[in-house]
Amino acid sequence: MRAKSLTLKRAKRLRRAMTPPETRLWVRLRSRSADRPNFRRQYPHDPYILDFYCPEAKLAVEVDGWVHTLEAQAAHDERRDAFLKAKGVEVMRLLAADVMADPDGAAEAVWERAILRGRGE
């Protein structure tokens, strides 16, 4: 139980300290609409915290900065993705630079993937 409590506290802290690319994407994803799936930010999926998560589609969206190009972080990401895949969660990774350059396009790509996944495609 302690690990779960720590994960929840950490997720809350991360919600208050989102990176600029995460913030730009969240401003778009948080808008509620009948034709778009709902997302949550800094969602705890023990033992991990997902940048964004769509429960209906079981889609995790990760905004990756330069640190994800480092060998150790890439290995961690692979283990994390495998863990989530085993739980039925698909991980969609976006480059932070791409989100900063075209946040509307990034949000549209996320919504499109979530809609398709929600339909079982």
- The position carrying tokens 């790509």 is 109
Beta bridge mates, 54: 59
What number is the average pLDDT over the span 50-69?
Answer: 86
Q: What is the CA radius of gyration of the chain?
A: 14
The domain that holds 40 is classified in CATH as 3.40.960.10
Cα 49 to Cα 8, 43, 105: the distances in Å are: 9, 5, 24
Average pLDDT, the chain: 84
Report the pLDDT value the prediction gives residue 60, as an integer from 0 to 100.
Answer: 96
pTM, 2 dp: 0.82
Which domain does 51 fall in, by range?
A: 2-118
pLDDT by residue (tens digit) across 4-21?
666 556 655 555 667 899
Q: Please state the domain count of the chain.
A: 1
